Amino acid sequence: METKTSILDIEKVRSDFPILSREVNGKPLVYLDNGASSQKPKQVIDVITRYYEHKNSNIHRGIHTLSQEATDAYEKARKTVQSFTNAQHEHEVIFTSGTTDSINLVASSFGKKHIQKGDEILISTMEHHSNIVPWQMICEEKGAALKVVPINDKGEFLMEGFEQLLSEKTKLVAVTHVSNTLGTINPVKEIIEKAHQKGALVLIDGAQAVPHTKVDVQELDCDFYVFSGHKMFGPTGVGILYGKENILNDIPPYKGGGDMIKTVTFEKTTYNCLPHKLEAGTPNIIGGIGLAAAIDYMNAIGIDRIEAYEHELLTYATEQIKQIEGVRIIGEAAQKASVLSFVVEGTHPSDIGMIIDKLGIAIRTGHHCTEPLMNRLEIPGTARASFAFYNTFEEIDIFITALKRAIKMLL
């Protein structure tokens, strides 16, 4: 199939990603593990290099030129994220080390102040461990209960089950926007509306959504929205917590240290204003700047075009894999992002992954940090191909051919 479409100039896009030109085991790299971490365009790599060569300094504390330049670049990055998410205020954008850190921040700070014995927190069956364990920890600490919304066999969120679990005891709902294992796109706007009717706040895990679709936090009306830079073509070690201004002002600091304070004495400390109250210590400065560069890159291509092209890739890959005898797709929701999980009857997912790696193809195998979901589906794990806008139809053909070869070797 042609690698060039009317939606994207795919050859030009691929030329921006240096790693896509390398070989693995003597074969051209076919990188289909974007759900775990995406590759970085040279535009992001160059921004990182230029910062370290020309502006490297600590921020917010120095009056010298380098510190001022670094501070300006970092705070400009915050404004870029604000625009990208359509947050009302730039101080509603909190830099963290990633989605996991963002969720832990909310669980600790909001939980410390507002979760009491007998309260309930709702999550769904398809959550990543990062959106399960922090809530388990705060529930155990506070004597609260963690309730789990069921899914159907297609991997779809069951709204009826959610409504049955919602009550006046529900203090917070934490659900994924897009499942990292199933690709399911959850009806988060409806979830948020129903939760708010009961007085509960809502946190949306957007780690798998922001690389693939436009997110407007004001339109969603979520109370918290979290995501990571490394899954959206930016650096590792940086992420975002968006929170509504009044809620972030209300919760106590997550960590103590420099920059999150106004005054410190041995008797009393007063805390800084947003966003600094929730950003203790020297931040991942280049992470924030690199994330902004990744957002600029995505915006230049066009989020709508990215989403449309990836939908074509997913549709094509799904059609091709369905023709292979013995393969069962895991996650067939009506609304899906570019994730294709599957099992092959009579084989283990890891064996599939190891064989096709020898052919230069990178996919993910295992439980994908969703062990409770695997238990619900009664499988040990899946093989997962996850697509980005730099992937091609030709790469899907190579993947399908390799998968057939692996199955033939194993059965």
3-state secondary structure of 94: strand
Measured distance CA(89)–CA(242) in Å, rounded: 10
Length of the chain: 411
Among candidates 215, 237, 211, which has minimal Cα distance to 290?
237
User: Does the annotation count 139 as an active-site position?
Assistant: no
Buried (b) or exposed (e) across 35-66, using 16+ Cβ within 10 A?
Answer: bebbbbbebbbebbeebeeebebebbeeeeee
Measured distance CA(93)–CA(63) in Å, rounded: 24
**From 139, 222, 273, 369, the catalytic residue:** 369
Measured distance CA(92)–CA(403) in Å, rounded: 45
DSSP β-bridge partners for residue 93 = 242
Q: Are strands 361-362 and 23-24 parallel, antiparallel or unpaired?
A: unpaired
DSSP for 23-63, please give it.
EETTEE-EE-BTTT-----HHHHHHHHHHHHHT----SS--
Structure tokens at 211: 């690389």
3-state secondary structure of 112: helix
Where do we find the tokens 């899906």? 336
Per DSSP, 161 falls in state H
* Catalytic machinery residues: 369
